[in-house]
Structure 1
């Protein structure tokens, strides 16, 4: 089926479902986080955006997690890049939280996700640091009277996708599913990943303790984490028996790593996510 036809179908479904879509209240929030260090604890705040459906709830929770620019100079420029996607989920019944992790945008720092050496990267610990920030967003949701904290879903793109895999390896209470768009770490240039074998090993380490069902989406022309590498990452999870549904999607622009951001691409990924959410017993029909 062509992208044009998929787009048309999505538009028709959107029209048909529009009467059922809810209005969304958007607000900027601050998520408290306690960071333990050599000299004790520090209390910081993560900048975030909350998207709340109309009504009293309780609403299932979706936490969306951003990627990491290749250049550290761009970290402070990071913003809420997924407002359109967040509103899509919120209009159909999810309470959506989109946090900025330590060292990004207006969140407190310092940045904590360093894997240090390209030759011998510590991907496992870097991902677990990312997981701490995402976990803080879950803790924030648990304080909200309108959040259904027994039905929470993690969604991440790129380094955010890697982070939700890391957190899922800890099987946090209430998390019932994880969606990974183009997850990974270590891309320092097009089709150039620091020590791919170590990245595959990190995926296997996470997989060994993961019990959460997952949906993964990778584009055929992703130049951060290409198709051959994505297959190796998937095999690391399959070898551990994790319930992963993998979707390889068509090329997008000059680099499919930006697939999730592409407006027309919702026609492709929405049916995949709908099917996954239905499996979890959660709201669907996101168009």
Structure 2
């Protein structure tokens, strides 16, 4: 089958970029500080924007290897530290995950305003790991952000019985089949509930966090997905299967066509 891009977009970059980082002191209201780390390609934009949400007790910097890989490929990545679930917060409140989709949408608004000219408001996506995956799913369902045109869910699941809503957007799910934190069955159920173009990368021996060869596969496959969904790169779409199954560490179910 022939894949089509979800949105018209400039040609995908043919080179890798050097990456710069900066920190934005954002705050939603009086009591929700959202210090946001931004990884950005060093080059002429505008580039697509990816909002990334971390897992419980994690920090944006914990994902630097993956997020900088995306930035090198031509994407601006903004990752807030959430006020009650990050390692920086000092006060863990798991239920506050329910407030994070609104935080994430606020950060998107602020980054688009503050980095105007460097980011493309018409090419915005969301991704997240674990609790951040739950946050990302919320942004495509009960707390739908209409600006989002694609998403990646890493080891995430649904916590509310809310259907995916709004304009269809391609989603890539990534889950370890031996994940003991968020069970593979729960991730699979979230994938099955998506009514739009979607794909599921299952890491056969993977746990909650991808490491080693599995990390390389996740980085390559997610980058292919971003290049297709945010730049319309049909070549990257055709690479998905080969990159996802490289080394035999993962399998790919693909309904993106």
Structure 2 CA distance for partners of 1:58 and 1:174, relative to 1, 3 Å: same
Give RMSD over aligned pairs.
2.9
The structural deviation recorded for 1:166 is: 0.2
Q: State yes or no: 1:247 paired with 2:201.
A: yes
Q: Which residue in 1 is equivalent to 2:180?
A: 223
Give yes or no for the alignment of 1:30 onto 2:25.
yes
Partner of 1:48: 36
Q: Which has the higher helix share?
A: 1
The answer to whether the 8 Å contact 2:134/2:157 transfers is yes
Counterpart contact for 1:150–1:173, Cα < 8 Å: no
Q: How many Å separate the matches in 1 of 2:22 and 2:50?
A: 15
Please show how residues 86-125 of structure 1 align to structure 2 within 5 Å: 86-103=67-84, 104-106=86-88, 113-114=94-95
Q: Using the alignment, how far apart are the partners of 1:84 and 1:163 within structure 2?
A: 21
Asked if the contact 1:101–1:130 (Cα under 8 Å) also holds between the matched residues in 2, the reply is: yes
2:52 corresponds to: 64
User: Which residues of structure 1 form unaligned runs of 5+?
Assistant: 1-18, 35-41, 70-74, 115-125, 186-198
Q: Does 1:174 align with 2:147?
A: yes
The answer for unaligned runs of 5 or more in structure 2 is: 1-13, 244-257
Q: Which has more radius of gyration?
A: 1
Describe the SS at the equivalent of 1:222.
coil
Query: What CA distance in whole angstroms lies between the structure 1 residues aligned with 2:122 and 2:212?
Result: 31
TM-score (norm 1): 0.67
Q: Kindly indicate whether residue 229 of structure 2 is the aligned counterpart of residue 280 of structure 1.
A: yes
Match of 2:246 in 1: none
Q: Is the 8 A contact 1:161 1:183 kept in 2?
A: yes
Q: Normalising to structure 2: TM-score of the pair?
A: 0.74
Hey, what does 2:208 align to over in structure 1? 257
